[in-house]
Structure 1
Amino acid sequence: MTQVVLGENEGIDSALRRFKRQVSKAGILADVKYHKHFETPHEKRKRKAVSARRKLRF
């Protein structure tokens, strides 16, 4: 769990900036977006196939 402790004489803006940086480094939002909806096995295979085709192209 990401946690930010406010230092003495530290503004809320800098603490919020630190929190956002920690959340993005931990990959929490990406994980939430990934698990937002249930994915059937068929959809999972299709997504992986599209990803593989995209990797081959580049």
Structure 2
Amino acid sequence: MAYVISDSCISCGSCAAQCPVSAISQGASQYEIDPNTCIDCGSCAAQCPVSAISQG
């Protein structure tokens, strides 16, 4: 199951920089994870300073 970013996202970009498959991009109001590209590695969740990323 792909990871998701909650509304707690502060748009710092640290998750996108950590993603090995470039599944994370800036959306309209916060970063978003493409569920079709996400490989469920969890690197983004470990990097998030506000714990806004979890498995969806």
The TM-score range, normalised by the shorter chain, is under 0.3
Q: TM-score, normalised by structure 2?
A: 0.25
Q: TM-score, normalised by structure 1?
A: 0.25
